[in-house]
Every structure is written in C-alpha cells, then in structure tokens.
C-alpha cells in the first residue's frame, strides 16, 4: 500500500457488544459507527464471550452444627441475623461446593470489615482480609454466596450488513462455530478473503439470534483492521500488509527486535480499573507488529488456617479459608469428591490436615481470566479501538494456546511517546503481562566533528 505523505495509517479494532439473556430465538442488534476522521479497512474478524457464570445460592440452616459448641454471641442469640465470619462450610449446598462458589463481590463492604488478616496491600491483592463479625439480616443468606457454574460453549446465529452500500455479507444468518470457531479464543482470528473498506460516517449493522438456553453474558464481535487518517475522500488501497518485503532486505544494525512489557496486578475485584503507561525511550522509535498476553497464577492450592492434626470439614468456618480464595472462588477438586463427601449432603471428617489442605482448589485459572482493555497512543492522541474490548475477543485465550495477535498494520511509536493501557477487571487475580512485540529503530549517531588543534604561542 502506498500512502500519500499526508495520510496516516494505524491498526484499529471496531467492536460490537450484545447482552445475551439465554433465551433461544431472542434477536439482538448493534451498530458500529465509523467515525468521520478516516476510512476503516476490515481484514479479520473474531469474537469472545464474557459469560455471567454466577448463580445465587441459598445458605442452609444458619445455626451452628450440632457438633460445634460456641460461646454466646450476637449470632447465636437471635435467629433473624447471622455474621459472615460465622458461616460454616456445611451451610453451603453440596452442589455449590462441587461446582465452585465465591463470596458475592457486590457485598464486598458488607462481608469484610476493612481490616487485613495478614501483611500486605489490600488493593494490591497481597494481603488477606478479615471477614466481618457484625450481624446482618438473614435475607442476605440468599445472595451473599454465589455458585460459579462451569463455562459453556455459546451458540448463536449472526449476520452483518454494510449500511454504506446496503449489502449483506452472507446469504443467510451463519452459525458462530461454522464461521468463527470456538468462543474461548483457542483458534486464530478468521482472516477475511478480501479486505473490506468502510467509508467515514458509514455504519456496520450486526444482528444476533440466540440459540443457547440459560447462558447469559456479554458477547463481543470484533472487526480487526486499520484506519487511514488524512486521506480525504480518496478511496484507500486495501491490500493487507505483509512483512515479507522487509524480510528480503539486508539486516541493519540500527534495527533490532524488541519487546515492551506492561505489568498490571489484577486484584480479583470485578469492575476495578487499572492503568499503565509505557514510555518509549529517546534512543529511537518503536514499531509494534504483534501483541501477546498472559496471567501469572502462582498456585491453585487452598491451605486451611488450622493448626490441628485432624480436620472435620463440616466444622470449617469460612474464616478458615484465605479470603482471596473466597473472592476468587473455590471448589472441591474433581479427584477428591469421595474424600470430601460422605453422601449427597454430608461432609467428611476427620481428615488429616495434610489431606484437608489438598481437598479444595481455587477457580482462578489462567484460561478463565476475563477483563476489558483499551490501548491509547500518547504520541498521536488516538485510541486504537472504538470501545473497551474483552481480552478473549481481542487477543485470544490467556493460556497461550493461540498464536500472537498480529497487527494488520505495524504501529509506529515515536521516541518519548507513550503507550497507555487501561484494564477493567472482570474475573481473575494475579500479575497480568501484556507484551508489545516488534522492533526498535535506533537513531543515527551524530557525526563527530574534528576541531583544529590550537596553535602554540611563539616564545
């Protein structure tokens, strides 16, 4: 593609979002508006689903188990209230223990008393928080704990219409698996057979027909491509960029492969926003050709806060678990169901502490991390997408089972400019690493200037 001197080309993603209700046959529409500042050329398409996996759980009898003798407290003196710190494990239904449960993040201030149970920074996710001993109404027993259902594959039909030309891009609605593949990001983004240009002020209309029963959440459909700025009304060339021409050139010592990394700490608090700015140093410009990311999860183990040699699972309180695990979600390990359960509704005991520490696992798995991100070029002052995009829809799955996302157009960041990353947490905890892969264009060294030697004075 040959651009005019006044034309700027940068990679850009246009996303459409749909709130699915889990009702087969439900029709949802969204419109992508192409801004007036340039033409958008779509080269590939992908999607991702941000599923709402939380389901309400009604706690069982809120009185302490008969095997536990407690001192008189506000919790035991009245049957109309209970304390979050006084919830026993056996008061949570067994199906929630097997599938997974967590404390409802919407009642964060009600469940925790604001103090730290261990050293660390509360917002940084390093410290363990203390559950509240204050009493709350029994009505919260139906909402304070959530069951986390397993993730399911979504099914829907979709169609796309270019409103600028009035043309549909398919002869009938297409099933998502047949056209785009799985929604969990374990596949390359689908390249369009021919890039498609959308003129300024035009629109792209997308329609979804739900096919799955009871699956709720936010669906993202993303068109990947690039925008041209400053080209006027002249139609842009839509040949996709291929770096093959660069590979035939002789290597230059002034061009070196280089990665810029943004490290952000996810706290496990849905809705929490994090911002990171990467400064481009002054020694030369930086060209981004692809983006990758991953979540660093240290362990899935849930060690109990017990010093006894044996543990009775039915007598465990929620305070015996790390608060971070209760926020992330925990479940009985699939291979330990016979160890943990005596029957359909009975917990086992006594167990040795070593075995009890292995019964539960966190649900903070790499492949389940979910967040929305947006990228901003501080040098030009331009966003690189029309709205925050789901990580799976924009980058693929987080466990590495996908190729790195190649930018359709390399993005040039000038020396002393910045790359700003904004992240809105949805699910997951741990260090998040977003890597901008590319190469550096080292500046040409200034030529050395020889000065004449001073003359010696005559004697």
Parts of the chain with a pLDDT under 50 = 1-3, 68-78, 118-125, 233-236, 238-248, 446-449, 451
> What is the structure's pLDDT at 250?
59
> What is the structure's pLDDT at 379?
87
Print burial letters for 55-69: b (CB count within 10 Å at least 16), e (below 16): eebebeebebbeeee
> What is the structure's pLDDT at 5?
52
Name the E strands within 52-117.
Answer: 54-57, 81-82, 101-103, 112-116
> What is the structure's pLDDT at 375?
96
In tens, the pLDDT along 415-456 reads 999 999 999 999 999 999 999 999 998 875 544 445 455 555
Print burial letters for 117-153: b (CB count within 10 Å at least 16), e (below 16): beeeeeeebebbbbbbeebbeeebbeebbbbbbebee
> What is the structure's pLDDT at 201?
92
> What is the structure's pLDDT at 194?
93
Closest CA to 213 of 22, 70, 378: 22
Cα–Cα separations (whole angstroms), residue 173 to 27, 162, 235, 397: 12, 15, 29, 26
> What is the structure's pLDDT at 77?
41
> What is the structure's pLDDT at 222?
96
Has this prediction a pTM greater than 0.75?
yes
User: 415 with 310: CB under 8 angstroms?
Assistant: no
């Amino acid at each position: 593609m040959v651009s005019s001197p006044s034309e700027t080309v940068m990679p850009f993603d246009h996303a459409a979002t749909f709130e699915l209700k889990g009702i087969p046959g439900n029709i949802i529409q969204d419109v992508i508006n192409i801004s007036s500042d340039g033409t958008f050329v779509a080269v590939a398409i992908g999607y991702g689903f941000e599923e709402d996996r939380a389901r309400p759980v009604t706690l069982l009898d809120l009185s302490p188990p008969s095997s536990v003798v407690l001192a008189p407290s506000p919790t035991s003196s009245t049957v109309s209230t209970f304390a979050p710190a006084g919830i026993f494990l056996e008061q949570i239904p067994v199906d929630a223990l097997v599938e997974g449960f967590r404390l409802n993040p919407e009642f964060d201030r009600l469940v925790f008393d604001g103090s730290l149970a261990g050293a660390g920074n509360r917002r940084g996710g390093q410290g363990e928080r203390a559950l509240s001993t204050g009493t709350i109404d029994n009505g919260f027993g139906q909402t304070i704990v959530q069951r986390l259902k397993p993730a399911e594959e979504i099914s829907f039909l979709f169609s796309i219409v270019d409103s600028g030309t009035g043309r549909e891009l398919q002869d009938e609605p297409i099933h998502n698996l047949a056209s785009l593949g799985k929604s969990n990001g374990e596949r390359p983004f689908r390249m369009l057979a021919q890039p498609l240009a959308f003129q300024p002020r035009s629109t792209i209309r997308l329609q979804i027909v739900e096919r799955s029963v009871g699956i709720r959440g936010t669906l993202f459909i993303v068109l990947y491509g690039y925008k041209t700025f400053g080209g006027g009304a002249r139609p842009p060339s839509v040949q996709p960029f291929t770096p093959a021409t660069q590979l035939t050139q002789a290597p230059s010592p002034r061009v070196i492969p280089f990665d810029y990394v943004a490290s952000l700490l996810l706290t496990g608090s849905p809705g929490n926003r994090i911002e990171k700015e990467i400064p481009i140093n002054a020694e030369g410009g930086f060209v981004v050709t692809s983006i990758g990311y991953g979540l660093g999860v240290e362990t899935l183990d849930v060690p109990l806060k017990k010093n006894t040699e044996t543990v009775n699972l039915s007598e465990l309180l929620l305070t015996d678990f790390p608060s971070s695990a209760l926020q992330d979600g925990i479940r009985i390990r699939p291979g330990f169901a016979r160890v943990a359960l005596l029957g359909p509704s009975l917990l086992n005991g006594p167990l040795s502490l070593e075995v009890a520490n292995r019964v539960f696992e966190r649900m903070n798995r790499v492949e389940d991390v979910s967040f929305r991100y947006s990228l901003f070029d501080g040098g030009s002052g331009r966003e690189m997408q029309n709205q925050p995009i789901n990580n799976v829809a924009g980058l693929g799955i987080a466990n590495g089972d996908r190729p790195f996302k190649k930018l359709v157009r390399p993005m040039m960041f000038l020396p002393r400019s910045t790359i700003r990353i904004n992240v809105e947490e949805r699910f997951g905890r741990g260090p998040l690493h977003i890597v901008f892969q590319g190469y550096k264009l080292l500046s040409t060294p200034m030529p050395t200037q020889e000065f004449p030697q001073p003359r010696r004075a005559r004697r």
